[in-house]
Amino acid sequence: MSRGAQSLEDAELLALLLCTGQPGKPVAELARDLLTEFGSVSATLAAPWEQLRRRSGIGQAKFALLQAVRELAKRASAEALRDRPLVPDSESTRQFLVTHLGGLQQEVFAVMFLDTRHRLIRFEQLFTGSLTQTSVYPREVARRALQLNAAAVIAAHNHPSGTAEPSRADQLLTNQLRRSLEVLDIRLLDHLIVAGERTLPAGEA
């Protein structure tokens, strides 16, 4: 209370959230073990029940709490962006995408739909794939942008492997998205890769 939550380390914050450990394993140790196993705070919060249920000290109630915290963080970050113009390489945009995509264990393609002043209209996960790939249909992105009356978009997808470098397929997809959108007078501001806590352009938008 005297120093504030910002003074705590990741494991300490997670321990406060979990509240209790188990016999022989204090909650602080349980929190450190989770962060070590999953690699980051975002990955821990996004960990599926199938993995967490195998760990002693994590029941359905704690899993539900982790999911609720992650969802609240996502909604709070979206609220913060609705009233301000977005720049693709800004810290707020980067943090938003890391919060939504950084800890996922399967590849997801998502889009930030923006108005004429580049304020967030809606963020949607449009396509979901396996651990390594997903199928993206640029026409579907363009169709959804028209439905939402978006003037611009920021596309993003995650690399669950943690490798941020764009592949040739990422670069080709960027070009396809740009061509599909520009005929409708909708700007592709950027296509970003999210790998854990890092972001990197997937190609020239």
Give me the amino acid identity at 150.
A
User: pLDDT (tens digit, 9 = 90+) per residue, 150-163?
Assistant: 999 999 999 888 77
Q: Tell me the average pLDDT across 11-36.
A: 86
Nearest C-alpha neighbor of 151 from the set 178, 126, 204, 188? 188
Q: Half-sphere exposure of 108 toward its Cβ, with a 13 Å CA cutoff? A: 17
Q: What is the pLDDT of residue 72?
A: 85
Distance in angstroms (rounded) separating the CA atoms of residues 123 and 198: 19
Q: What is the 3-state secondary structure (H, E, C) of the chain?
A: CCCCHHHCCHHHHHHHHHCCCECCECHHHHHHHHHHHHCCHHHHHHCCHHHHCCCCCCCHHHHHHHHHHHHHHHHHHHHHHCCCCCCCCCHHHHHHHHHHHCCCCCCEEEEEEECCCCCEEEEEEEEECCCCCCCCCHHHHHHHHHHCCCCEEEEEEECCCCCCCCCHHHHHHHHHHHHHHHCCCCEEEEEEEEECCEEEECCCC
Q: Is the pLDDT of residue 169 over 60?
A: yes
pTM score, two decimals? 0.69
User: pLDDT (tens digit, 9 = 90+) per residue, 88-142?
Assistant: 668 888 888 988 898 788 899 999 999 998 888 999 999 888 555 567 788 899 9
Q: What is the mean pLDDT of the chain?
A: 85
Q: Tell me the average pLDDT across 62-83.
A: 80
